[in-house]
Amino acid sequence: MARRVTLIDVARHAGVSRTTASYVLTGTGRVSTATRERVQASIETLGYVYNEGAASLRRKSRTIGVIVPKIDRPFFGEVLSGVESTFTASGYMALMVATRNRLDQQDRLLRMLREHQVAALVIIPATASDHELVDAIRSWDVPTVFLSRYVRGSTEPYVGSDEVRGGYLAADHLVRAHGCRSITYLGGPTRGIARADRLEGVHRALAESGSEVNLVDLISESTVEAGLRAGHELVGSGLPDGIICHNDSIAMGVARALYDTGRVGATRIIGYDDIVPAKVSVPSLTSVATGGQLLGETAARSVLAVISGAEPAVRSHLAEPRLIVRESCGDHVGGDAATS
């Protein structure tokens, strides 16, 4: 097996020094057009391949750590898609890892990423993350943006959507447009800050409405299956006028439970995240859209700006969520999902 072709070989072949060869590679320094073309030709004929790893020993690496709780959750998939495309478009590559929402895994992965010398970090922290995580990252001193979830009490750079506003939009719609008098907030991690924020928004909407509304706070996992179970239980124990689900997966489960029990339309359901299949759920889901892909892009652009020195610190960014109204809250029953 032939030895790897290195920059020295290229230089020798082109009759220049390593420096010059390096210059044409990186675009740095001044090189005459003639030399540049000669070097480029040599690169071509020798089949030279740049060694990013070796280069990273001198300058900053071009890999960025990306941490998410789960890789296969639809919403995270959208976010990751935005992150990845932004990075690779700029010549960076993402080391993606999943914590499965476990703090010990998160610590381990953080450590591994650090050992891999990532130039920056984009992290959707595990739900139970606290200040220890923030401190660990701070002491590491790498450009970091928290994405979609932030750590309670932390003021670290954060890109996400306005959860309070999202909760508000959902509750406001149920109360004002549909006159709901009893609302259940269903699902989401117990200790999660998003849950607390959305509930705050809900309370705000209820207060503004001035009407007496009975709000029930129900914990459940954030999966389709959990939503299905919860839906059946709610049918058994008495349905509220409206249900705000922590995400669309839960909402789809609930919707299906209503369908199973012949209670379609017996309550209004609002989901969260507006993932693709929400459109074709029966009924199609009214949902709070947060624009996962765009959030991912924004976060990625943000750390890239810092790395390249364009910005001194990562910028925080709070996106405005939108309420996508569909059948599940009663407005379009019998309507056509294709037109929504």
Half-sphere CA count of 140, side-chain side, radius 13 A: 22
**59 belongs to the binding site for DNA (CB under 7 A):** yes
**117 belongs to the binding site for a second copy (CB under 8 A):** yes
DSSP per position, 116-148: TT-SEEEE---TT--HHHHHHHHHHT--EEEES
DSSP per position, 91-119: T-EEEEEE-TT-HHHHHHHHHHHHHTT-S
| Burial class of 136 by CB neighbour count within 10 A (0 to 12, 13 to 18, 19+) | middle
Binding a second copy by CB under 8 A: which of 279, 315, 322, 332? 279
Half-sphere CA count of 99, side-chain side, radius 13 A: 26
Binding mask 118-147 for a second copy (x = CB under 8 A): -----------------------x------
CA dist 262 and 205 (Å) reads 31
**249 belongs to the binding site for DNA (CB under 7 A):** no
In DSSP terms, which residues pair with 123 in a beta bridge? 67, 146
**226 belongs to the binding site for a second copy (CB under 8 A):** no
> Among a second copy, DNA, none, what does residue 59 contact (CB within 5–8 Å per kind)?
DNA
**338 belongs to the binding site for a second copy (CB under 8 A):** yes
Among residues 26 and 45, whose Cβ is nearest to DNA?
26
Binding a second copy by CB under 8 A: which of 113, 123, 145, 213? 113
Binding a second copy by CB under 8 A: which of 123, 183, 228, 303? 228
CA dist 120 and 62 (Å) reads 9
> Among DNA, a second copy, none, what does residue 154 contact (CB within 5–8 Å per kind)?
none
Which residue matches tokens 């928004």? 201
- Inter-residue contact 248 to 285 (CB < 8 Å): yes
Residues forming contacts to a second copy in the complex (CB under 8 A) are 1, 49-54, 56-57, 61, 63, 70-74, 77-78, 80-81, 84-85, 88, 91, 93-98, 100, 109, 112-117, 141, 223-225, 227-229, 232, 249, 252-253, 255-257, 259-260, 276-277, 279-282, 284, 293, 336-338
Residues forming contacts to DNA in the complex (CB under 7 A) are 3-4, 6-8, 15-20, 22-23, 25-26, 28-32, 34-36, 48-51, 54-55, 57-59
